[in-house]
Amino acid sequence: MRASAPGKIILFGEHAVVYGRHSLVSAINLRCYVEAKESKEVLIKSSLGVTSLDFKIHPYVSYAIKRFSEKAKIDGVKIEIKSEIPIGSGLGSSAAVTVATLKALDAEFNTGFTNEEILELAKLVELDVQGRASGVDPFISTYGGAWLIPEKKRVVIPYDFFVINLGSKSTAEMVAKVAKLRKRHSKTVERIFDAIDALTVEAASKIDDYKTIEELISINQSLLRALGVSTPEIDKLIAELDELGFKAKITGAGGGGCIFGLKKEKIPPESLQVSYEEEGVRIEDS
Distance of closest approach, residue 2 Cβ to ligand MEV, in angstroms: 25
The site string for ligand MEV over 115-134 (x = CB under 6 A, - otherwise) reads ------------------xx
List the one residue out of 63, 61, 72 whose CA is nearest residue 34.
Answer: 61
Q: Distance of alpha carbon 148 from its chain centroid, rounded?
A: 15
Q: How far apart are CA 281 and CA 286, in angstroms?
A: 15
Give residues 8-27 in contact with ligand MEV (rule: CB under 6 A). Answer: 10, 14-15, 17-18
Q: Where are the alpha helices (DSSP H) in 135-284?
A: 136-143, 171-184, 186-205, 210-226, 232-243
The verdict on 144 binding ligand MEV (CB under 6 A) reads no
Residue 75 is among the residues annotated as catalytic for this protein: no
Q: How far apart are CA 182 and CA 192, in angstroms?
A: 10
Distance of closest approach, residue 184 Cβ to ligand MEV, in angstroms: 19
Give residues 185-214 in contact with ligand MEV (rule: CB under 6 A). Answer: none
Task: Locate the DSSP E strands across the chain.
Answer: 2-12, 23-39, 42-46, 49-51, 76-83, 146-149, 153-154, 161-165, 249-251, 258-262, 272-274, 282-284
Distance of closest approach, residue 93 Cβ to ligand MEV, in angstroms: 10
Distance of closest approach, residue 29 Cβ to ligand MEV, in angstroms: 18
Asked if 133 contacts 178 with a C-beta cutoff of 8 angstroms, the reply is: no
Q: Which of the residues 106, 128, 137, 197 is marked catalytic?
A: 137
The site string for ligand MEV over 242-271 (x = CB under 6 A, - otherwise) reads ----------xx------------------
Determine the 3-state secondary structure of 229 from DSSP: coil
Out of 175, 196, 216, 267, the only residue in the binding site for ligand MEV (CB under 6 A) is: 175
Determine the 3-state secondary structure of 211 from DSSP: helix
For ligand MEV, which is the closer residue by CB, 6 or 252? 252
Distance of closest approach, residue 7 Cβ to ligand MEV, in angstroms: 10
Asked if 146 contacts 29 with a C-beta cutoff of 8 angstroms, the reply is: no
For ligand MEV, which is the closer residue by CB, 77 or 258? 258
The verdict on 171 binding ligand MEV (CB under 6 A) reads yes
Distances 9 to 42, 85, 234, 237 between C-alpha atoms, Å: 32, 11, 17, 19
Determine the 3-state secondary structure of 104 from DSSP: helix
Number of residues that bind ligand MEV (CB under 6 A): 14
Give residues 87-106 in contact with ligand MEV (rule: CB under 6 A). Answer: 90
The residue of the chain with the least Cβ separation from ligand MEV equals 134
For ligand MEV, which is the closer residue by CB, 90 or 280? 90
Cis ω for the linkage preceding 232 (within 30 of 0): no
For ligand MEV, which is the closer residue by CB, 257 or 261? 257
Q: Which residues bind ligand MEV (CB under 6 A)?
A: 10, 14-15, 17-18, 90, 133-134, 136-137, 171, 175, 252-253
Catalytically annotated residues: 137
